[in-house]
C-alpha cells in the first residue's frame, strides 16, 4: 500500500482515519496538537464527515469521545500528558463503564519538558485505570497501533491508552498504510445500564474490568509489538520500552548484540516474556523514555529478586528524555563527542513576538502595581507566561491551566490585597470560568486580567472556545458588569489602560479586565490569506 | 551510505522547509529517513534545531548520537556552534554568517565567525546577502541548502525536484526564486570545498 512521510502525531491521525473513526476530540497541547490538525486538514476526513473541532478542555473532549463511543461509533481523544490530569475523572471511569464503539485515548508525554511543566508518565494512568497501554517505537507502529488499538478496544469493550513521547510525536518517517475500514453505524449499547455508574452497577462493572486483566496480559504476550530476542551473553538482559528500543539498537548498528533482549511496546507487562528473560539472565537493565515504571515494578520494594539496573540506581539519568548517548554510557561504550560548545554561545530563550498584545498589557499592569510592591501576580499557561522573564518580571506563578484565578483568590482570602490573576482567553475557557464563579460567590477582592488575543497562541494559533464572548461569559457567571472592563492593549492607550487597572486594583470585590487585541501572528496570517 | 545532519537556526528562519526539501529528495532516492524536531516553545524566536537522518539501511534512533553528525547546516552563525558536540570530528559545518539578533546579549559576531573558521571543515557564507542579490531576500534558507548540497550524497536533480514539490503550492515565481537561490548557494560551496 501507499507510503506516506508522517510525524508520529500524523501517523496516529491517519491510523485513526483508516480505522474508521467518526470523530476526534482534543484540546491543543504540545506535543499532541498535530494529531487533530492533521485530521482537520485531511480530505478523507472531510469526505467521511469526521467530527474534528477543538473542545474547551481535555475533560470535555474525553467525555464527548465517550459519548460517541456510546453511540456505537469509533472515536479518538488526544491531549498532552498534563491534559490527562484534567481528563482523569472521565478516563478512570470510562474504564469501568467500558465502551461501545472503539475508543483510543492518545496521550503525548514530554520527557525533558521541552514545553511542559512536568514530565509525568502516562503509563501510570494506564495502570491506574487497569487498561491496556500501547507505546509505539516508530511512526509505523504509531500508525498500526492506533488502527489495531480500535480492534483491541472493541474486543474487550474498554478504552485503550496510546502513549507516545515528544521525540516520536514530532519526528517524521515513512509509514505504510493498512486497508481502509468503513465507519461504524450507530448502535446503542446492548446493556442499557452499562454506562450508569450507580454504586450497585459500578461494582459489577468493576468486576468485569478486573476479569479482563488476564486477557489484557495474554494480549501483551501475543502482541507483535512485544518481542523476545535470545542471546548467548546472559550476564545482562535488556528490557527496553517504546522508543528506548531504538536507542539501544542505535548502539548496535556496528556491533553485534549478544545479550537477550525484550522489547515492550504493549502493557500490561507480558508476564511470561519478563519471567523468561529474568530466569535466563544474571541481571537486567531496563531502559524507558519516561519514569522508571517498569524498572520499579521489576525491582520491587524489597529488592529481593534479580538485580535490576536503570534510572533508579544511577546507571541511567533519573530524569529527562532518553537518548542513544545515555544508553551508550550505561553500556560502557565510549561516546565520541564532538567539540565542546564555545563559550561565546549564549542562550536564546523564546520571547513574546514584536507587537504582541501581552506586552502592552504587562507594561500597564507593572506600572499600575508599582505602589503595591512585588509578589502578587498569579499567572497561568500560555504565551503570556513569558512575562516571567526579563524585562517584565511580571508574574509570580504558573502552575496548571486555570490556577491563576483560584490562586489569586486563595491569596486574597489570606489577606493579600490587591491580588491579581493574569490568564489567557483559551486558558480562561479551559479552566478559569469555574474559578471566577468561586470568586463571585465569595466576593473575593481579586483583579482578574484576561489577556484575550482571541486564539490559542502558544500551541500555534488554534481556535479559542470563547472568542468574542469573554465579557459576556464573565457577566453570565455573575461578575458585576460595572467591574468588567474591556481595554485595548496598544501603546497609544497605555496611560488610560494603566488608569483603569489602578482603579480596579482598589476595588474590594471581583474585577475582570479583558485586555482584548488579536494575536499578532494570527492577524498577520489572516492578512496574508486575504491577499491570496 | 548514511548522512546525519543537524539543522539549526532561530524560530521562523525556515529550517522546516530545508528539512522538508531534503526529505522529499531522500524519498525520491528511496532512502530511509528520520527527521525529528522540537515544536512549541521554540516557535517564539528561540533556538530551534532538527535532527535529519538519511540512510540506505533502516535507521534506529530518531536522535543523532553525540559526535555522529556528518554536517551541521545552520541558517544563523551562533546557532551553528550550539550543536558542535554532535558534529563528528571529520564533519562539515555549513553556516550563514549573517547574525539574527533578537537577544540583548548577542556576542561579538567576529568572535562567532572566528570560532566557525577555527573548524577544519567549514563553509561560511552570507546567505542573506546572496539571497537579496538573487532577488529573493526570503530565500536565504534555500541558499544554505544549496551550499550544503555538495556534501549531501543526494543528486542535485532530486533536491531541485524537492524544492518544486515543497514550494509548488506557492506558485511558479516562488519555485523559480528558490531554485535560483539554491544554485547561488551551491556555487559558493563548490568554490570553497
Ligand atoms: C492541561 C493543559 N492542556 C494544554 C496545555 C498546553 N497549553 C499551554 S499554553 C496553551 C494555550 C493557552 O492559550 P491562551 O490562554 O489563549 O494564551 P495564549 O498562548 O494565546 O497567549 C496550551 C493549550 C497545558 N499546558 N496544560
Within 8 A by CB and 6+ apart from B122, the residues are B92, B93, B94, B95, B116
Report if residue A322 sits inside a domain. Answer: yes
CA distance A472 to chain B (A): 31
CB contact under 8 A, B65 and A386: no
| Count of structural domains, chain A | 3
Homologous superfamily (CATH) for B2-192 = Pyruvate-ferredoxin oxidoreductase, PFOR, domain III (3.40.920.10)
Looking at residue B191, its pLDDT comes to 85
Looking at residue A528, its pLDDT comes to 85
Report if residue A399 sits inside a domain. Answer: yes
Query: Does residue A461 sit in the same domain as residue A373?
Result: yes
Report if residue A531 sits inside a domain. Answer: no
C-alpha cell at A528: 496574508
Looking at residue A529, its pLDDT comes to 84
Ligand 1 contacts CB of residue A458 (under 6 A): yes
Q: Which atom of ligand 1 is nearest to the CA of A384?
A: 21
Q: What is the ipTM for the molecules in this complex?
A: 0.94
Across the A:B interface, residue pairs with CB atoms under 8 Å apart total 155
CB contact under 8 A, B60 and A31: no
Query: Does residue A55 sit in the same domain as residue A189?
Result: yes
Q: Which residue stretches of chain B are H helix?
A: 15-28, 77-82, 109-117, 127-133, 140-148, 156-167, 172-192
The range of the structural domain enclosing residue A136 comes to 3-211
- Tell me: pLDDT of B42 over 60: no
**Domain extent listing, chain B:** 2-192
pLDDT digit of tens for each residue in chain A (532 aa)?
568 889 999 999 999 999 999 999 999 999 999 999 999 999 999 999 999 999 999 999 999 999 999 999 999 999 999 999 999 999 999 999 999 999 999 999 999 999 999 999 999 999 999 999 999 999 999 999 999 999 999 999 999 999 999 999 999 999 999 999 999 999 999 999 999 999 999 999 999 999 999 999 999 999 999 999 999 999 999 999 999 999 999 999 999 999 999 999 999 999 999 999 999 999 999 999 999 999 999 999 999 999 999 999 999 999 999 999 999 999 999 999 999 999 999 999 888 999 999 999 999 999 999 999 999 999 999 999 999 998 999 999 999 999 999 999 999 999 999 999 999 999 999 999 999 999 999 999 999 999 999 999 999 999 999 999 999 999 999 999 999 999 999 999 999 999 999 999 999 999 999 999 999 999 998 998 887 6
Strands (E) located in A184-274: 227-229, 236-241, 261-264, 266-267
Query: Does residue A125 sit in the same domain as residue A269?
Result: no
pLDDT, tens digit (0-9, with 9 covering 90-100), for A246-291: 999 999 999 999 999 999 999 999 999 999 999 999 999 999 999 9
pLDDT, tens digit (0-9, with 9 covering 90-100), for A382-424: 999 999 998 999 999 999 999 999 999 999 999 999 999 999 9
Query: Does residue A242 sit in the same domain as residue A142?
Result: no
pLDDT, tens digit (0-9, with 9 covering 90-100), for B4-28: 999 999 988 989 899 999 998 998 9
Looking at residue B45, its pLDDT comes to 83
Count the helices and strands in chain A (H runs, E runs): 22, 18
Ligand 1 pocket: which of A356, A458, A461, A469 to mutate (most atoms within 8 A of CB): A458
Residue with C-alpha cell 551473553?
A233
Domain CATH code at residue A318? 3.40.50.920
**Rounded to whole angstroms, how far apart are CA atoms A501 and A447?**
8
Query: Does residue A55 sit in the same domain as residue A158?
Result: yes
CB contact under 8 A, A246 and B32: no
CA-based max dimension of chain B: 45
Ligand 1 contacts CB of residue A466 (under 6 A): no
Higher-scoring residue by pLDDT: B38, A360: A360
Query: Does residue A124 sit in the same domain as residue A248?
Result: no
Ligand 1 contacts CB of residue A83 (under 6 A): yes
- Tell me: pLDDT of B160 over 90: yes
Ligand 1 contacts CB of residue A454 (under 6 A): no
Query: Does residue A276 sit in the same domain as residue A154?
Result: no
Looking at residue B41, its pLDDT comes to 58
pTM assigned to the model: 0.97
Ligand 1 contacts CB of residue A431 (under 6 A): no
**Rounded to whole angstroms, how far apart are CA atoms B2 and A409?**
58
Ligand 1 pocket: which of A386, A427, A469, A516 to mutate (most atoms within 8 A of CB): A427
Query: Does residue A207 sit in the same domain as residue A237?
Result: no
CB contact under 8 A, A340 and B40: no
Q: How many other CB atoms sit within 10 Å of the CB of residue A528?
A: 9
Domain CATH code at residue A36? 3.40.50.970
**Rounded to whole angstroms, how far apart are CA atoms B37 and A188?**
43
Q: Which of A211, A246, A263 is the last residue of a domain?
A: A211
Report if residue A348 sits inside a domain. Answer: no
Query: Does residue A286 sit in the same domain as residue A362?
Result: no
Report if residue A221 sits inside a domain. Answer: no
Which among A458, A460, A516, A529 is positioned nearest to A484, based on CA atoms? A516
Query: Does residue A66 sit in the same domain as residue A117?
Result: yes
- Tell me: pLDDT of B119 over 70: yes
Q: If you measure from the C-alpha of residue B45 to the centroid of ligand 1, how many angstroms do you get, rounded to a whole number?
A: 18
Q: Which of A5, A167, A353 sits opposite B23 (nearest CB)?
A: A5
Ligand 1 contacts CB of residue A462 (under 6 A): no
Q: Show the 3-state SS of A53-82.
A: CECCCHHHHHHHHHHHHHCCCEEEEEEEHH
Report if residue A186 sits inside a domain. Answer: yes
Query: Does residue A327 sit in the same domain as residue A362?
Result: no
Q: Which of A169, A187, A211 is the last residue of a domain?
A: A211
Computed over every residue of chain B, the mean pLDDT equals 93
Percentage of chain B exceeding pLDDT 70? 97
CB A397 within 8 A of CB A406: no
Residue of B nearest to A253 (CA): B60
Amino acid at each position: 500500500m501507499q507510503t506516506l512521510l508522517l510525524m508520529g502525531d500524523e501517523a496516529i491521525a491517519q491510523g485513526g482515519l483508516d480505522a474508521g473513526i467518526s470523530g476526534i476530540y482534543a484540546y491543543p497541547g504540545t506535543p499532541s496538537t498535530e494529531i487533530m490538525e492533521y485530521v482537520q486538514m485531511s480530505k478523507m476526513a472531510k469526505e467521511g464527515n469526521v467530527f474534528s473541532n477543538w473542545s474547551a478542555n481535555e475533560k470535555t473532549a474525553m467525555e464527548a469521545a465517550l459519548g460517541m463511543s456510546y453511540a456505537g461509533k469509533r472515536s479518538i481523544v488526544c491531549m498532552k500528558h498534563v491534559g490527562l490530569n484534567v481528563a482523569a475523572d472521565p478516563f478512570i471511569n470510562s474504564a469501568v463503564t467500558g465502551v461501545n464503539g472503539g475508543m483510543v485515548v492518545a496521550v503525548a508525554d514530554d520527557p525533558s519538558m521541552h514545553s511542559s511543566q512536568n514530565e509525568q508518565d502516562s503509563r501510570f494512568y494506564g495502570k491506574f485505570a487497569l487498561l491496556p497501554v500501547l507505546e509505539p517505537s516508530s511512526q509505523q507502529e504509531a500508525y498500526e497501533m492506533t488502527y489495531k488499538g480500535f480492534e483491541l478496544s472493541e474486543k474487550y469493550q474498554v478504552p485503550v491508552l496510546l502513549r507516545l513521547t515528544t521525540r516520536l510525536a514530532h519526528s517524521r518517517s515513512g509509514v505504510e498504510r493498512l486497508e481502509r475500514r468503513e465507519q461504524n453505524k450507530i448502535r446503542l449499547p446492548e446493556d442499557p445500564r452499562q454506562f450508569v455508574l450507580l454504586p450497585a452497577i459500578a461494582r459489577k462493572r468493576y468486576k468485569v474490568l478486573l476479569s479482563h486483566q488476564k486477557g489484557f496480559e495474554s494480549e501483551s504476550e501475543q502482541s507483535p509489538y512485544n518481542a523476545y530476542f535470545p542471546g548467548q551473553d546472559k550476564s545482562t538482559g535488556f528490557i527496553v520500552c517504546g522508543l528506548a528500543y531504538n536507542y539501544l539498537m542505535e548502539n548496535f548498528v556496528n556491533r553485534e548484540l549478544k545479550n537477550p533482549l525484550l522489547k515492550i511496546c504493549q502493557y500490561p507487562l507480558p508476564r511470561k516474556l519478563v519471567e523468561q528473560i529474568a530466569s535466563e539472565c544474571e541481571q537486567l537493565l531496563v531502559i524507558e523514555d519516561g519514569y522508571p515504571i517498569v524498572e520499579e515494578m521489576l525491582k520491587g520494594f524489597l529488592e529481593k529478586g534479580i538485580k535490576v539496573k536503570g534510572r533508579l540506581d544511577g546507571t541511567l539519568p533519573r530524569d529527562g528524555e532518553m537518548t542513544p548517548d545515555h544508553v551508550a554510557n550505561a553500556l560502557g561504550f565510549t561516546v565520541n563527542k564532538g567539540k565542546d560548545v564555545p563559550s561565546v554561545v549564549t542562550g536564546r530563550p523564546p520571547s513574546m513576538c514584536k507587537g504582541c498584545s501581552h506586552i502592552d498589557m504587562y507594561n500597564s499592569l507593572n506600572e499600575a502595581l508599582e505602589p503595591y510592591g512585588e509578589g502578587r501576580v498569579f499567572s497561568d499557561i500560555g504565551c503570556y507566561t513569558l512575562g516571567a522573564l526579563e524585562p517584565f518580571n511580571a508574574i509570580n506563578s504558573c502552575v496548571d491551566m486555570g490556577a491563576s484565578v483560584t490562586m489569586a483568590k486563595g491569596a486574597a482570602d489570606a489577606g493579600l490585597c490587591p491580588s491579581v490573576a493574569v490568564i489567557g482567553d483559551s486558558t480562561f475557557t479551559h479552566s478559569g470560568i469555574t474559578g471566577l464563579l468561586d470568586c463571585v460567590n465569595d466576593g473575593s477582592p481579586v483583579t482578574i486580567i484576561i489577556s484575550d488575543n482571541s486564539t490559542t497562541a502558544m500551541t500555534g494559533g488554534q481556535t479559542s472556545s470563547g472568542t468574542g464572548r469573554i465579557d459576556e461569559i464573565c457577566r453570565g457567571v455573575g461578575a458585576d458588569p460595572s467591574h468588567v472592563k474591556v481595554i485595548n492593549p496598544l501603546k497609544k492607550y497605555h496611560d488610560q489602560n494603566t488608569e483603569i487597572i489602578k482603579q480596579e486594583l482598589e476595588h474590594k470585590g471581583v474585577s475582570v479586565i479583558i485586555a482584548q487585541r488579536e494575536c499578532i501572528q494570527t492577524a498577520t496570517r489572516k492578512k496574508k490569506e486575504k491577499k491570496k | 551510505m548514511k548522512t546525519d545532519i543537524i539543522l539549526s537556526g532561530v524560530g521562523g528562519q525556515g529550517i522546516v522547509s530545508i528539512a522538508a526539501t531534503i526529505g522529499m529528495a531522500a524519498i525520491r532516492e528511496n532512502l530511509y529517513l528520520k527527521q525529528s524536531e522540537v515544536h512549541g516553545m521554540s516557535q517564539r524566536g528561540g533556538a530551534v534545531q532538527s535532527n535529519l537522518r538519511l540512510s540506505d539501511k533502516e535507521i534506529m534512533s530518531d536522535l543523532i548520537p553525540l559526535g555522529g553528525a556528518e554536517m551541521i547546516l545552520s541558517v544563523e552563525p551562533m546557532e551553528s556552534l550550539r550543536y558542535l558536540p554532535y558534529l563528528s570530528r571529520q564533519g562539515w559545518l555549513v553556516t550563514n554568517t549573517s547574525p539574527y539578533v533578537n537577544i540583548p546579549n548577542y556576542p561579538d559576531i567576529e568572535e562567532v565567525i572566528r570560532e566557525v573558521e577555527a573548524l577544519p571543515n567549514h563553509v561560511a557564507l552570507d546567505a542573506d546577502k546572496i539571497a537579496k542579490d538573487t532577488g529573493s531576500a526570503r530565500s536565504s534558507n534555500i541558499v544554505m541548502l544549496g551550499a550544503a548540497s555538495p556534501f549531501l550524497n543526494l543528486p542535485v536533480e532530486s533536491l531541485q525536484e524537492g524544492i518544486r514539490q515543497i514550494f509548488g503550492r506557492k506558485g511558479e515565481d516562488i519555485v523559480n526564486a528558490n531554485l535560483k537561490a539554491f544554485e547561488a548557494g551551491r556555487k559558493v560551496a563548490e568554490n570553497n570545498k
